[in-house]
Amino acid sequence: MAGIAQDELFGLLDIHGEDAVECASLLASPPGDGTRRALASLDSRLGTFPSTSASADGCSETDWIEALLRFAPVVHRHHLSLGIPPEASAVILADVGLNLRINRRVHARFGLDTWAWLTLHMAGNIFRIGRLQFHLVRGDAEASGDAGGSWVLGVHIPEDGGLSPALVDASLSQAREFFDRYFPDKAVSVASCDSWMLDPYLALQLPHSNIASFARRFTVDRCSDAPSDAVYFTFRQRGMENLDRLPRETSLQRVVLERIDDGGVWQLGHGHLALPPARRTQA
């Protein structure tokens, strides 16, 4: 946390209320062994464009929360060193506060069961651009025919807001421009997405929805079973117990639960799309 005040840190990470109190308590004393190991792991990954989360390495959830708090200013400085605007850095680092709040919603306590997801943010290669988040990583070398592996943008869908075609169009276009500008040596032309929203069943059941419109942008290469993903991301409930208690107020809620009622299994669709061409600047 060197060089940044606690209030400034919590503002950067969008941490407030009870979570701010708990986080301040973690930062009130020097980091323990587990937190130091987690910090070393984060430091080793910064700027390396990892596609997978850090391993637990024997560190507790609390160790990882503290490490994320202490390492965030390092990531922020890394972003700025690349010329990335402070607000673009802040908007992705604010996922820390968001996920703390989601944890309270899911578990009714302070914690961060999504700490592993946030270790990707701390590597400095995920950004939120408009409606979507984009994760710059090496592509599948075998699939691309490129021994070195081409660069691709992994697409992630934050929970806030809708997926109107106009918002998605703008996000994809702006992402191409953003990465061309700040990572010019890592040319991207393809985006990929691994999501339950790309399960073909969902578009069949809700063909006129924005989710279906979003999914149709992608060529689905394969699907894999992910029985609980649709429940978690629709209802923010871990596990498949007591599904009969969940609301069925929206068409999406009903589709998710009725498929399970009928013995079906939700899947992840793994798909890709071609990004819009980069706009040429006038001489």
Residue-wise pLDDT for 201-234, tens only, equals 999 999 999 999 999 999 999 999 999 999 999 9
Cβ–Cβ < 8 Å for 93, 12: yes
pLDDT by residue (tens digit) across 182-195?
999 999 999 999 99
Instruction: State how far the Cα of 244 lies from the Cα of 30, in Å rounded to an integer.
Output: 46
Residue carrying the six token digits 């944890």: 103
CB atoms within 10 A of CB 80: 13
User: What does the pLDDT read at residue 277?
Assistant: 87
Q: Is residue 230 part of a domain?
A: no
Q: Which residues contact 11 (CB under 8 A, 6 or more apart)?
A: none
User: What does the pLDDT read at residue 146?
Assistant: 42
Q: Is residue 142 scored above 70 in pLDDT?
A: no
Amino acid occupying residue 65: I
Element (H, E) at 251: helix 251-261
Looking at the structure of the chain, the number of domains it has is: 1
Q: Which residues contact 282 (CB under 8 A, 6 or more apart)?
A: none
pLDDT by residue (tens digit) across 7-43?
999 999 999 999 999 999 999 999 999 999 999 999 9
Q: Is residue 247 part of a domain?
A: no
Backbone dihedral angles phi then psi of residue 270, each to the nearest 5 degrees: -110, 110
Rg of the chain over Cα atoms, rounded to whole angstroms, equals: 20
Q: Which residues contact 192 (CB under 8 A, 6 or more apart)?
A: 139, 152, 153, 154, 155, 270, 271, 272
Which of 103, 76, 188, 91 lies closest to 131, judged by CA?
A: 91
Q: Is residue 199 part of a domain?
A: no
Domain residues for the domain of 118 are 1-124
Q: Is residue 4 part of a domain?
A: yes
pLDDT by residue (tens digit) across 83-134?
999 999 999 999 999 999 999 999 999 999 999 999 999 999 999 999 999 9
Categorize the per-residue pLDDT at 283 as very low, low, confident or very high, splitting at 50, 70 and 90: very low
Q: Is residue 73 part of a domain?
A: yes
Segment 68-92 shows an average pLDDT of 98
Q: Is residue 29 part of a domain?
A: yes
Q: Is residue 159 part of a domain?
A: no
Give me the DSSP letters along 90-140.
HHHHTHHHHHHHHHHHHHSSS--TTHHHHHHHTTT-EEEETTEEEEEEE--
Q: Is residue 54 part of a domain?
A: yes
Q: Is residue 281 scored above 70 in pLDDT?
A: no
Instruction: State how far the Cα of 31 lies from the Cα of 50, in Å rounded to an integer.
Output: 25
Cβ–Cβ < 8 Å for 132, 175: yes
pLDDT by residue (tens digit) across 45-63?
999 999 999 999 999 999 9
> In this structure, what token pair is assigned to residue 144?
């691309």
